[in-house]
Structure 1
Amino acid sequence: MNKIILLILVTIFSSFTFLRDDEVTFTAKIENRNSDTLMFKGGNQFSKIIIADKKGVFKSTFKIEEGFYQMYDGKMYVQLYLKNGYDLVLNMDAKKEYQSITYKGKGADENNFWIKSLIDSQNYDYKTLLSSEEKVFSKLFEERKVEVLASLKGKSLDKIFADNYSKETEQSLNGLKAYYMQTLEAKKLSGSMSPDFNFENLKGGTTSLADLKGKYIYIDVWATWCGPCIAEIPFLKEVEKKYEGKNILFVSLSIDRVSDREKWSKFITEKELSGIQLLAEADWKSKFVQDYKINGIPRFILVGPNGEIVNADAPRPSSPSLIELFDNILK
C-alpha cells in the first residue's frame, strides 16, 4: 500500500517544471551501485543518462527546468528536485535504498526534506488508515493532512518547491481519499451479481462474462500506458502458471482507447501475455467499468462460477493475500 502512495506522489510531482537560466551540476556517489548508468526523466519529455567515471562517480552539468525528477539506477527510482544553479551531491548505498540517501551542496535542503518526506510516507501506517471505518478514516485523514503540511513550517526552502509541495501533497492526499471511497463502494458490490460485458477478444470475435460462467474469473483492468499495471505483469504470469488447470480463468481487460488497438495488440505479443485478452469498447466510459465505479487502475476483480462478485477490489498479483484467497476458494 505504501508503494501506491509513493507512486501517487511521484506521478504528480514529476509533472511540475519551471524554466530557469544557466545549468545544474549533479554528482552522485553510490556504494553498491546497481549499474554504471543513471537515467533521469521529468516533465516536457526530459531524458538524460549519466555514466559513471573510472572511479564510479556519476557527474554531469546540464540545463534543466526547475521541478521534480525521477532518477533510475537500474533497480530503484529516486525522486529529487533540480534547479539550474544547483551544485547537488547525492550520497547513497544502493543496498540500503532510500534510508541511506543524503544530499550536500546547493539544493541539499530541498532534497533532504523531500527524501525525508518519502521515508515518512513509507513508514506511515496507511494500511490502518485505509481499513478504518468511515468516521475514523475522516479523523485520521485530517490529522495526517495537517501533519504533512505542517512539516514545511520553519524551513528555509525554495519558494517554488515549498508552494508546489504544499499544493500537490494536498492533491495527492485527496487522491488517497478518493481511493478509500472507491474501496468502500467496492465492498458494497461484493456478493451481488456482476455486471456483464461483451468485449473484443484479441484472438477474434467477442467474449462476454456470461461465456465464462462455470469458473472463477480473475479480471485485471489495465492499460498499456499504466506503469503500476505493467509492474504487476510478472506477478500475474506467476499466478497464472501456479493455478494453470484449476477452476479459474484469467481475464485482462484493457481500457486503452479503441484507436490504440494496434498498440494494445503489439504490447500483448511483445510481453507474451497469456490469459483472455479483451479490449473495452469505450475505455473509461465502458458500462462495465462504470458499473464497478473504477476510477483508478490497475483494478482486480474476482467473480464466482455463478456470476456473483466474490471481491470487487481483489488483491493484486503481487500481494501474498491473493494466493491465500485462491487457495481457499480453489480447494
Structure 2
Amino acid sequence: MKNIFSLIITLVFTTISFSQQKVLFHGKIANRNSDVLYIKGNNTIIKEIKLNTEGAFNDSFETKEGLYQMFDGVEYADLYLKPGYDLDLKMDAKQFDESIKYTGKGEIENNFLAQATLNESTFNYNELLAADEANFNKMIEAKKNSDFQKLESAKLDSNFVVLQKQNIEESLFGLKQYYNQKLAGKKMDNLKAPSFDFENHAGGKTTLESLKGKYVYIDLWATWCGPCRAEIPFLKELEKSLHDKNIAFVSISTDSEKDHEKWRTFVKEKELTGIQLYADRANMDFIKAFNVNTIPRFILIDPSGTVVDADAARPSDPKLKEQLAGLLQ
C-alpha cells in the first residue's frame, strides 16, 4: 500500500523517444486484484495486458523509453520501460510492494524502483510536515541529497537516472507546495469563517449562516480527483456514526462549469450523503480565503462560525475521529 502522500503529490513522468523496438513483459501475479494489468504513462493507458486464470501473462508492445505505472486494480507500481527490455515479474498482490521482483533485461532499474517505493513507505512525512519552516527546508534538502546519492551509487541506466532525478525534484516541489498551503491555511484558525452561498444538490442554495449552531466539517473536492473519491467511503462512515451529533457534513464540489451535470449525476449515482453543494466560479471567495490550491481539502468550523481547523484531518485519518469525539461530547 502506498504512503498517503503519494495521493497528495503529483509526479510528472517524462518520456524520451528512441527506436521503437518492442518491450517484452511477462510474469505471474499471485492473488491478483484484477484480470487485466494496465500500463499507464502520463495518466494515459498505453497497454492492457490480460492475465490467465493462474495470474500469468505474456505480452509485448511498442513504447517510448520512460517511466510508467503498472496498475493491478487500485494498486500500482512504477515501471521503467525501454525498447528491447525483456522483463519477467513475480509478485503476490497481497503483499504488493513488498513482493515485487523482476528478472531479465531491465531488472536492475525496475528493482531499484520497487525498493524506492518501500523506502518511501518508511519515511516519516508526518514529522516533516509538522516541522517549522526552517527545519522543513533542511529536511527536504537532506531527503533530496539522500535520494540522489542512492541513484548515483547504483549501476543504473544513465537515462533512467536523469528521469528519476527529475521525478524526485517534482515530488519534493509538490510536497513544498502542500506544506506552504498548510502554513497559509493555518492563518485562518480561530478567525470567523467567510460566508458561502452555493447551489444545493437537493434544491435551492445553502449558506454557511444557515448551519450556525452546529459544527461544520467541509470537504472541498471534485469528481475528477482520485484522492477525493478515495475519501468518500470514510466520509460516509463518519457521517453515519455521528448522524445524531451536532455536526453538519458539507461537501463542496469545485468541478468546472462544463462538469456541472457530471457532478449532479455523480452525487446521485454514488448516493453521496451529507449536504452536497456546488461552488460556482462567480462565488469563490470562501475557497480563496483558505488559500486552497490542492484538493481534497477539509475545514472544520465551530457552531459560532469560527474556524477550528483550516486544514483539518481527512475522514480516513483516525485523528479526525478523536478530534470530533472531543468536540461533540
TM-score range, shorter chain: over 0.9
Match in the other structure for 1:136:
135
Match in the other structure for 1:171:
170
Question: What is the TM-score when the length of structure 2 is the normalising length?
Answer: 0.93
| SS, match of residue 169 in structure 1 | helix
* Paired residues, number: 328
Match in the other structure for 1:89:
88
| SS, match of residue 105 in structure 1 | strand
Q: List gaps (5 residues or longer) in structure 1.
A: none
> Is 1:185 matched up with 2:159?
no
Match in the other structure for 2:144:
145
Match in the other structure for 1:4:
4
> Is 1:118 matched up with 2:90?
no
Aligned in 2, Cα 1:217/1:64: closer, same or farther, shift over 3 Å?
Answer: same
Distance 2:281 2:63 in 1: 39
Match in the other structure for 1:258:
257
Report if aligned partners of 1:2, 1:126 keep a CA contact under 8 Å in 2.
no
Distance 1:226 1:54 in 2: 33
Residue deviations 1:261-297 (CA, integer Å, cap 9, x gap):
11111111111111111111229x8221111011111
> Is 1:307 matched up with 2:296?
no
Q: Percent identity?
A: 48
Deviates more, 1:87-96 or 1:230-239: 87-96
Report if aligned partners of 1:8, 1:172 keep a CA contact under 8 Å in 2.
no
Aligned in 2, Cα 1:116/1:110: closer, same or farther, shift over 3 Å?
Answer: same
Distance 1:226 1:121 in 2: 23
How far did 1:157 drift?
2.5
Deviates more, 1:310-319 or 1:96-105: 96-105
Distance 1:36 1:259 in 2: 34
Report if aligned partners of 2:197, 2:205 keep a CA contact under 8 Å in 1.
yes
How far did 1:253 drift?
0.6
| SS, match of residue 98 in structure 2 | helix
The counterpart of 1:286, out of the listed 281, 284, 287, is 284
Match in the other structure for 1:327:
325
Residue deviations 1:7-39 (CA, integer Å, cap 9, x gap):
356x424x4333440211111222233333322
| SS, match of residue 151 in structure 2 | coil
Question: What is the TM-score when the length of structure 1 is the normalising length?
Answer: 0.93
Cα root mean square deviation, aligned? 2.0
Distance 2:157 2:38 in 1: 25
Match in the other structure for 1:30:
29
Deviates more, 1:47-56 or 1:69-78: 47-56
Residue deviations 1:163-192 (CA, integer Å, cap 9, x gap):
121122112102111211221222222111
Distance 1:226 1:292 in 2: 19
| SS, match of residue 150 in structure 1 | helix
Report if aligned partners of 2:30, 2:54 keep a CA contact under 8 Å in 1.
no
Residue deviations 1:129-149 (CA, integer Å, cap 9, x gap):
111122222222211111112
Q: List gaps (5 residues or longer) in structure 2.
A: none
Report if aligned partners of 1:258, 1:279 keep a CA contact under 8 Å in 2.
no
